[in-house]
Chains A and B, each alone.
Chain A
Amino acid sequence: MYTVADLKKGLKIILDGDPYLVVAFDFVKPGKGQALYRTKMRNMINGSLLDRTYRSGESFEPASLEERTMEYLYKEGDHYTFMDQQTYEQVVMEEETLGDAKNYLLENLKVEVMLFGDKAIGISLPNFVNLRVTATEQWAKGDTSGNDSKPATVETGYVLRVPPFIEEGELIVIDTRTGEYSTRVKG
């Protein structure tokens, strides 16, 4: 168990059954008064922020979280399945939990899955992923409209802006941190 004296930025604790990350912390103690421990915490499942003030004597359960490398297998409805290649253990995550990460999930992609107990609560992706363009308009040579990008759909169904010279069937590199086109894969 943690006590209020253990509170600091980066501490992970369990609150009402959910894992929370302490993102801001301060100790305040008015003259001769009781000490207060002010925290701002982020719910590690849904990302919501919470302000809480604690007093001496309160205690917290540590949230033990584990990151494991897993491979993305398939999607069924709103559910995405990942598998640990070492133990063959599978976990399922809902589209809502994945957020934007779903845009880059191609079968067999290796990702880091964050586990809280046996529940998967999030993934971290490689910074760059290669995805094939499945649909985009032809670039008309001599186009003088001045557009320096056009929409393109990649094999995961994600739509992004790409330079006009990108053609259907080409493999492009996408920065998963921004969701933007990075470069074209040659060859």
Chain B
Amino acid sequence: MKVDALWLRANVIKTVRDYFWERGFLEVETPLLIPANAPEEHINPIRTTLPSWQLQTSPEICMKRLLCNGHKKLFQISRCWRSDERGSRHLSEFTMLEWYRSDCDYQTLMSDCEGLLQYVAAICQPDNCFFVHNSAKIDPFAPWQRISVQEAFKRFGQIDVWDCLNKGLYEEILTAVIEPALAGFGSPVILMDYPAELAALARTKPTDCGLAERFELYVGGLELANGFSELNDPTEQRRRFEDANCSRSKAGQDVLPLPEPFLNTLALMPESAGIALGLDRLVMLTAGVDTIDEIVAFTPEEL
């Protein structure tokens, strides 16, 4: 019943909010309509009639500017838009939870994820305290697995991740082989240390500049969150944005405007880490449903 799903949705959102309030995070609202998103090769913003202004694809740029202003712990629950994304786990308009912390790295975010998911399961599913996806139960209180991307490709796909990238097979292998393998774990899984080219806004590892301090949280094989240690070098960040635009241009996509005020203040950003979590998907996992359609008030097709 959709009525039940909407009550559960509201409860998950309230619970997430409580979790961060109780831990001293500042809840912020940043503008949804912005002149520039962080340009990414495979994310297309929705344009508006205001010349060059777009709907946010993520609140990332504005939230990092708040870190530059000295805020230390921030969270936001906001709508995001990504053009042409529609599937059983995707809506063009969706709800994102993002949180940022200064003076820490991606390891702290991984612990945050454990705390948050355990809290949500305990409050929103008090009878059993687990999540369900594709009929599989996932217990957030069981020990979480952490696997590097390289290891996951080797272990589950018997293939080298760099080789996959060179051959343009990365997405295919990840979605057809790796994600289904992650679904077999009874606990959430953290896939970590991505090839640097797959993390345009993340810091590379001090020990290996070919790898980024980025991780993805998977629950029952469903990609739930993407977090990383933030890059705070404006020159390097500008170069990566330009690279993304270059790839877009080669693929016949439009070149996106750069967020100049963000680049201009980035040098002031302390060492930080930030993460984006698909709140609709967290509701799906809590409700134990397999399509995003079941936990939103209306799908675009119904409008």
Interface positions, chain B 201-236, Cβ under 8 Å from A, are 216, 223, 226
Complex: A29 Cα to B42 Cα, angstroms:
9
Please tell me if the beta carbons of B216 and A31 are within 8 angstroms of each other in the complex.
Answer: yes
Would you give the 0/1 interface string for A93-136, flagging 1 where the beta carbon is closer than 8 Å to chain B?
00000000000000000000000000000000000000000000
Complex: A28 Cα to B171 Cα, angstroms:
9
Report which of A26, A29, A31, A32 forms a contact with B85, defined as CB distance below 8 A: A29
Complex: A5 Cα to B86 Cα, angstroms:
9
Interface positions, chain B 17-72, Cβ under 8 Å from A, are 40-43
Does A36 count as interface, using CB distance less than 8 angstroms?
yes
Does B126 count as interface, using CB distance less than 8 angstroms?
no
Dominant secondary structure at the B interface: mixed
Please tell me if the beta carbons of B87 and A27 are within 8 angstroms of each other in the complex.
Answer: yes
Complex: A36 Cα to B90 Cα, angstroms:
12
18 sampled A-B residue pairs with Cβ under 8 A: A5-B84, A26-B87, A27-B87, A28-B175, A29-B87, A30-B174, A30-B223, A32-B198, A33-B42, A33-B170, A33-B198, A34-B42, A34-B171, A36-B172, A56-B84, A56-B251, A57-B251, A57-B252
With both beta carbons as reference points, the residue of chain B lying nearest to A33 in the complex is identified as B171
Interface size on A, residues (CB 8 A): 15
- Neighbouring A residues of B200 by C-beta, 8 Å: 32
Dominant secondary structure at the A interface: loop
Interface positions, chain A 1-34, Cβ under 8 Å from B, are 5, 26-34
Complex: A7 Cα to B186 Cα, angstroms:
34
Interchain pairs with CB closer than 8 A, number: 51
Interface positions, chain B 84-143, Cβ under 8 Å from A, are 84-90
Give the Cβ gap from A36 to chain B, nearest Cβ, in Å: 6
Does A185 count as interface, using CB distance less than 8 angstroms?
no
Q: Which bucket holds chain B's interface residue count?
A: 20 to 34
Give the Cβ gap from A107 to chain B, nearest Cβ, in Å: 46
Given contact pairs A34-B41, A56-B84, enumerate 12 new A-B contacts (beta carbons under 8 Å).
Answer: A26-B88, A27-B86, A27-B87, A28-B171, A29-B85, A29-B171, A32-B42, A32-B199, A33-B174, A35-B85, A53-B172, A57-B251
Would you give the 0/1 interface string for B240-265, flagging 1 where the beta carbon is closer than 8 Å to chain A?
00000000000110000000000000
Please tell me if the beta carbons of B226 and A31 are within 8 angstroms of each other in the complex.
Answer: yes
With both beta carbons as reference points, the residue of chain A lying nearest to B226 in the complex is identified as A31
